[in-house]
């Protein structure tokens, strides 16, 4: 077990999950929110980065357990 990869994976997973739950509770700017909030491209980009960091964390976790 590679501890360096394990802790790196844990960091990616935790940051990704925090970002994902933050995206879920936010709302994009629209008529309903009186144009307060993030623009739609920023909202989508933040969500994609959150999902990618969760995926990278999962892959690194599997890799650390195999070694």
Q: What is the mean pLDDT of each run of 10 residues along the chain (67 residues)?
A: 92 94 84 81 90 95 89
User: Is 57 a member of any domain?
Assistant: yes
The predicted pLDDT at position 54 comes to 95
| Residue 51, both tokens | 């999902």
| Residue 5, both tokens | 């990869």
Contact criterion met (CB below 8 Å) for 26 and 38: yes
Domain range enclosing 19: 1-25+44-67
Tell me phi and psi for residue 28, to 5 degrees: -75, 160
What's the structural domain count of the chain?
1
User: Is 4 a member of any domain?
Assistant: yes
The predicted pLDDT at position 34 comes to 82
Global confidence as pTM: 0.82
The predicted pLDDT at position 27 comes to 80
The predicted pLDDT at position 10 comes to 95
Closest by CA to 61, choosing from 17, 20, 22, is 17
The predicted pLDDT at position 33 comes to 76
Q: How far is the CA of 49 from the CAs of 20, 42, 52, 53, 55, in angstroms?
A: 9, 11, 5, 6, 10
């Amino acid at each position: 077990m590679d501890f360096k990869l394990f802790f790196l994976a844990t960091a990616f997973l935790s940051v990704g999950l925090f970002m994902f739950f933050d995206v879920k509770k936010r709302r994009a700017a629209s008529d309903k929110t009186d144009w307060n909030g993030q623009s739609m491209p920023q909202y989508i980009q933040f969500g994609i980065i959150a999902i990618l960091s969760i995926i990278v964390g999962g892959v690194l976790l599997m890799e650390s357990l195999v070694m």
